[in-house]
Structure 1
Amino acid sequence: MAATTLKTLGTRLINQSTGKGRVCLVTGSASKGMGRAFVLSLAKEGGLVEVSDIPKREKEGHEGTQILEKTSFPKCDGRKSIWVPLDVTKEEAWKAAVSDGVLDVLVNNAGIVTPHDATAVQSKQISLAELHKSTNAGMVGGVGTLGYGTSKWAHRGLTKYMAGTLPAAGIRARVSSVRFIRTEMIRGVGLVDQNSDDVIGEIGNALANMNYLKRSAGPEEVANLVVFFASDESSFSTGSEFLVDGRWQ
């Protein structure tokens, strides 16, 4: 592939020859945390975003699509987003989610992808990029949470094998490992204030002090990396691991 010319901000996910934006499916994106930040950032660059989550979160999912439709972001085929119900643990749900065969970018923000999921998606021709969101529990050992930590190590391995298995289909796989991001879950357990970005409590402050920057991060700080992965700016990157953790100690 020839060297890529950097595009103007706001058009990085738009095909200049067709004028169409890349179709981006973001799992677990009914939330107001990283999922919402991902869909907003992708849409801002011209992508047609498929907001997806488990069926019972349909109301929140539609809230996300309505927010996008009210923005001044570019439209793809006359729209900016659609709601796609998807339980990532069900193979049939994956097949239904990509049944029209049009998908350029898959952001695995929810759950853990299995080899079966990869096979189902590959058969529907994802054409460009796949991003797995993990945490740095898969980078270092720890105490407790054995299942959680083990799954994150597996996530890294899955990305490496997908990078080696899927290039013939034009698919690149990357994994982003994050830590202490201000999500609904983090706020809900009392580590970050509900109405501000302030870290609170003994445990919250201890976690903040475990990275070089001594703070938590906003979902948009991860979303910036997601847009980079989804664009041609990362066209020679696959099987790569990216840390968004303030250099966890």
Structure 2
Amino acid sequence: MFSGKVVLITGAAGGIGIAAAKAFAKEGAKLALVDLSKEALEKAANTMDAGDVLLLTANVANEDEVKRYVEETMNHYGQIDVFINNAGINGKFANLVDQSAENFQAVMNVNVNGVFFGLKHVLKTMMKQKSGVIVNTASNGGLLGAPGMGPYIASKHAVIGLNKTAALEAAEYGIRVNAVAPSGVDTAMMKSIETNAMPGKEQEAREMFESTVPMKRYATPEEIADLMVFLSSDKASFITGSYYRIDGGQGTGSA
């Protein structure tokens, strides 16, 4: 399905990033994987059966580093066909009246600035190609509220807004832009959220979070990756500007 195509993935050493890389590699894609740690990227790459993999370290909150990972991908492959704009953090839990400006800004720097910089520089390349697909990782938190998670919730609402705007600006160039909006996913990030929510009582936190999902479980990273692959494929050729809940029914009847 993606033979000869180049797929660029940020947050590629995390749970969803690894699953996405494996899923695209299985379909024949060439990969450019971006994360903060070269060691973590190498460890992730060793778990996948991929023919051509470029490993790139970058902080997505730094525009110069984003510009560099795009340029290095283009220098190596000569094209970017799919961009999985996936890097994100959850930040620290606290009610708004107790949130620090430092935590709020840290979350915004990665989750909003990182997505914006990625869109800005990848779209420039795709517009020259007059082709490409972008999938942004949002969250059902971009559609709902959650006590104690104000910075994260605000950041994911912003991702959905950027997603809609990018789709409108890119459509005339033959570029599609969509977002996935998962609920809890069984990854290290979700374990961090459990610890933030109920320190020392992570299993109770997991049971509490899962109880809010009609299907009574977290998603697997592979389930999110499968949706990303579909949205990036020709089977989704008339889909753009949309966001897709993948939340076990959690958002049903809400926003």
Task: State the TM-score bracket (shorter-chain normalisation).
Answer: 0.7 to 0.9
Q: Which of 174, 179, 193 lines up with 2:178 in the alignment?
A: 174
Structure 1 residues 232 and 203: CA distance shift in structure 2, 3 A: same
Q: Which of 79, 104, 108 lines up with 2:85 in the alignment?
A: 108
In structure 2, the residue matched to 1:46 is 28
Letter in 2 for 1:123: K
Identical amino acids, percent of aligned pairs: 30
In structure 1, the residue matched to 2:42 is 62
CA contact (8 A) 2:85 2:115 kept: no
Q: What are the residue-to-residue correspondences of 1:57-206 with 2, within 5 Å?
A: 57-68=37-48, 71=49, 79-99=51-71, 100=74, 101-111=78-88, 112=111, 113-125=114-126, 127-188=131-192, 201-206=203-208
- Runs of 4+ aligned structure 1 residues displaced above 6 Å come to none
- Give the CA deviation at 1:208: 0.9
- Give the CA deviation at 1:178: 0.7
- Inter-partner Cα distance in structure 2 for 1:186 and 1:118: 25
TM-score by length of 1: 0.79
CA contact (8 A) 2:60 2:117 kept: no
Structure 1 residues 221 and 116: CA distance shift in structure 2, 3 A: closer
- Inter-partner Cα distance in structure 2 for 1:218 and 1:84: 25
* RMSD of aligned Cα (Å): 1.9
Letter in 2 for 1:13: F
- Inter-partner Cα distance in structure 2 for 1:28 and 1:225: 17
Structure that is richer in helix per residue:
2
In structure 1, the residue matched to 2:17 is 35
- Give the CA deviation at 1:125: 2.4
TM-score by length of 2: 0.77
CA contact (8 A) 2:115 2:136 kept: no
Letter in 1 for 2:57: P
Post-superposition CA distance 1:2-36 (Å, at most 9, x none): xxxxxxxxxx112xxxxx2x1001101112x1111
Answer yes or no: is 1:247 the counterpart of 2:227: no
CA contact (8 A) 1:25 1:49 kept: yes
Q: Give the gaps of 5 or more residues in structure 2.
A: 89-110, 196-201
Structure 1 residues 238 and 184: CA distance shift in structure 2, 3 A: same
Letter in 2 for 1:38: A
CA contact (8 A) 2:142 2:156 kept: yes
- Give the CA deviation at 1:190: 5.5
Post-superposition CA distance 1:23-53 (Å, at most 9, x none): 001101112x111111000100111111110
Letter in 1 for 2:22: L
CA contact (8 A) 1:13 1:230 kept: no
Q: How many residues align?
A: 213
- Inter-partner Cα distance in structure 2 for 1:177 and 1:48: 25
In structure 2, the residue matched to 1:25 is 8
- Give the CA deviation at 1:62: 1.3
CA contact (8 A) 1:122 1:169 kept: no
Letter in 2 for 1:23: V
